[in-house]
């Protein structure tokens, strides 16, 4: 679908989940590269993982915005709070919205399903409603809604690489089901209210200041404590690991190119709606990934050279909600936006290990 160019300079941009891993890195890029833009961040700073890391990321943002305080505003709150979202849109009138706020984690959803419904379903509904009511004189105040989906929507699909043309009707976790619901809801609102929306299916994002619940980060902390790391599916998992800078570059390019508004033969809007994969397209064997991580932790001085890694590995079966392979077909992203993630795991894990050494 043709993309309409969107100028970010001089615009108000709302980023939800702004203290999160992807959100904070996106805000930092926007502050660096946009002119006279106002970035508004929303995040509830919940304790799914240590809020101190979220505060650390916010500190980096505050420092980056220090010379131009009007360029950045942070609000602590949840997208599940409909009144807050409505008031925020009414006050700030964002022209571009990037919804990254969500309850993350596949395994956590098994024991805490209510948190996923509240944030990922009800919260996203509030964002859509706010975009809908931003209309002014028949034109939407929101030029483009970009939102996070997930590679988890591919569920039990056997065909690889995963393509956005594949059916995604067999989720294997509640988390995946809520992300698929986001895509369905966005399509409905795009059709009914002519709101340009683009969903992005992220593939295993990693890098400095990442989420501590992600395998590479949690494995690092366990190794430091002398604990054993569990490698699922007996090491026979493959993941399309995507470095954070590549994810942010993809998001930024998509923000600037919205699906074009068009009218169908019936006189009604053709939904300005799209979904893309953002993944490296190079699935890595989990054992190889672990070995590279271990080498880079030693190189950075996080772990000693004589560390006995073999004694701290345990191969275990597949966990509920997990899938053996994730592998992105990102050709559509390259065709429409001229970008494909390029960062290899050696370079990405080296950057993570160096950051971890300083942070801890």
| Catalytic choice (108, 147, 154, 175) | 175
Q: Is 135 a catalytic residue?
A: no
Q: What is the 3-state secondary structure (H, E, C) of the chain?
A: CCEEECCCCCCEEEEECCCCHHHHHHHHHHHHHCCCCEEEEEECCCCCCCHHHHHHHHHHHHHHCCCCHHHEEEEECCCCCHHHHHHHHHHHCCCEEEECCCCCCCCHHHHCHHHHHHHHHHHHHHHHHHHHCCCECCECCCCEEEEEEEHHHHCCCCCCCECCCCCCCCCCCHHHHHHHHHHHHHHHHHHHHCCCEEEEEECCEECCCCCCCCHHHHHHHHHHCCCCEEEHHHHCCEECCEEHHHHHHHHHHHHCEEECCEECCCCCEECCEEEEEECCCCCEEHHHHHHHHHHHHHHCCCCCCCCCCHHHEEECCCCCCCCCECCECCHHHHHHHCCCCCCCHHHHHHHHHHHHHHHC
36 contacts: CB under 8 Å, gap ≥ 6: 9, 10
291 contacts: CB under 8 Å, gap ≥ 6: none
Structure tokens at 250: 């993809």
Q: Tell the burial category of 263 from Cβ atoms under 10 Å away from its Cβ (0-12, 13-18, 19+).
A: exposed
- Positions marked catalytic: 175
């Amino acid at each position: 679908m043709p993309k309409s160019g969107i100028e970010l300079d001089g615009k108000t941009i709302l980023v939800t989940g702004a203290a999160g891993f992807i959100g904070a890195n996106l805000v930092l890029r926007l502050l660096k590269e946009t002119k006279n833009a106002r970035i508004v961040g929303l995040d509830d700073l919940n304790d799914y993982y240590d809020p101190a890391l979220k505060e650390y990321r916010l500190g980096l943002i505050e420092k980056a915005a220090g010379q131009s305080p009007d360029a950045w505003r942070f609000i602590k709150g949840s997208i599940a709070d409909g009144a807050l979202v409505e008031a925020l849109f009414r006050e700030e009138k964002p022209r571009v919205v990037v919804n990254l706020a969500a309850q993350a984690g596949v395994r956590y959803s098994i024991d805490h399903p209510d948190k996923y419904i509240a944030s990922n379903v009800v919260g996203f509904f509030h964002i859509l409603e706010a975009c809908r009511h931003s209309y002014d004189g028949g034109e939407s105040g929101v030029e483009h809604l970009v939102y996070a989906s997930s590679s988890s929507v591919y569920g039990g699909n056997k065909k690889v690489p995963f393509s956005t043309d594949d059916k995604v009707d067999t989720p294997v976790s509640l988390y995946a089901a809520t992300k698929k619901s986001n895509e369905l809801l966005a399509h409905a609102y795009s059709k009914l209210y002519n709101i340009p929306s683009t969903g992005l299916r992220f593939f295993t994002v990693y890098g400095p200041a990442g989420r501590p619940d992600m395998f590479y980060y949690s494995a690092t902390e366990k190794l430091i404590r002398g604990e054993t790391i569990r490698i699922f599916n007996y090491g026979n998992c493959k993941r399309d690991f995507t470095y954070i800078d590549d994810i942010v570059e993809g998001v930024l390019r998509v923000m600037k190119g919205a699906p074009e508004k068009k009218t169908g033969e019936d006189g009604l809007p053709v939904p300005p709606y799209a979904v893309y994969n953002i993944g490296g397209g190079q699935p890595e064997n989990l054992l190889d990934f672990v070995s590279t991580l271990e080498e880079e932790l030693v190189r950075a001085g996080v772990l000693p050279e004589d560390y006995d890694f073999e004694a701290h590995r345990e191969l275990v079966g597949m966990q509920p909600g997990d899938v053996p392979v994730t592998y992105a077909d990102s050709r559509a992203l390259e065709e429409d936006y001229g970008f494909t993630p390029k960062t290899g795991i050696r370079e990405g894990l080296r950057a993570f290990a160096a950051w971890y050494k300083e942070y801890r």
